[in-house]
Structure 1
Amino acid sequence: MSTPDVIVFDVNETLSDMSPLGEAFAAAGAPEHLAGTWFAGILRDGFAIAAAGGNAAFSEIAQDSLVRLLAESGDAVDDAAAGPIISALKNLGVHPDVVPGVEALRRVAELVTLSNGSASVAEGLLERSGLRGHFTELLSVDDAPAWKPARSAYAYASSETGHPADRMLLVAVHPWDIHGARRAGLRTAWINRTGAQYPGYFSPPDLEAADLVELAGQLTDGTA
Structure 2
Amino acid sequence: MSSEHLDQSLPSVDHPASPDGPRVPRLLIFDVNETLSDMSPMAKRFKDVGAPAHLAATWFAGLLRDGFALAAVDSSDSFAHIAAESLRVGLHGLPLNRGAADAVSYIMDGFAGLPVHDDVPDGIGALGGLGIRLVTLSNGSASVAQALFDRAGIREHFEGLLTVEDAGRWKPAPEAYAYALQECGVDPEDAMVVAVHPWDIDGASRAGLATAWVNRTDGLYPEYFSAPDLRAVSLTDLADQLG
Between the aligned partners of 1:72 and 1:45, the Cα distance in structure 2 is 21
What SS class does the counterpart of residue 148 from structure 1 fall into?
Answer: coil
What is the CA RMSD across the aligned residues, in angstroms? 1.0
Tell whether the 8 Å contact from 1:71 to 1:77 is kept in structure 2 after alignment. Answer: no
Tell whether the 8 Å contact from 2:145 to 2:161 is kept in structure 1 after alignment.
yes
Deviation string for 1:33-77 (max 9, x for gaps)? Answer: 010011011100000000011011001101111112112323545
Contact preservation (8 Å) 2:191, 2:209: yes
Provide the TM-score with structure 1 as the length reference.
Answer: 0.96
1:197 pairs with 2:220: yes
* Deviation larger for 74-83 or 131-140: 74-83
Structure 1 stretches of 4+ with a deviation exceeding 4 A read none
Compute the TM-score of the two structures, normalised by the length of structure 2: 0.89
Q: Given the alignment of the two structures, is residue 90 of structure 1 paired with residue 92 of structure 2, yes or no? A: no
Structure 2: which 5+ runs fail to align? 1-21
For this pair of structures, how many residues does the alignment match? 220
> What's the counterpart of residue 201 of structure 2?
178
* Structure 1 position 133 matched with structure 2 position 146: no
- Does the Cα contact within 8 Å between 2:50 and 2:96 map onto a contact in 1? no
What is the CA distance between 1:159 and its match in structure 2?
0.1
Distance across 1 between alignment mates of 2:141 and 2:190: 25
Change (3 A) 1:27 1:62: same
Q: How does 1:143-162 map to 2 (within 5 A)?
A: 143-162=166-185
1:169 maps to which residue?
192
One-letter code aligned to 1:186: L
1:28–1:78 CA contact under 8 A, matched in 2: no
Structure 2 counterpart of 1:67, which letter? Answer: R
Q: Secondary structure at the match of 1:3?
A: coil
- Most deviating of 171-180 and 101-110: 101-110
Which among 50, 54, 68 is matched to residue 33 of structure 1? Answer: 54
Query: In the aligned structure 2, how far is the partner of 1:200 from the partner of 1:141?
Result: 26
Q: Does residue 188 of structure 1 match 2:211?
A: yes
Cα deviations by residue, 1:82-112 (Å, 9 ceiling, x for unpaired): 1111010232110000000000000220000
The residue number in structure 1 matching 2:15 is: none
Structure 1 spans left out of the alignment, 5+ residues: none
2:121 maps to 1:99: yes
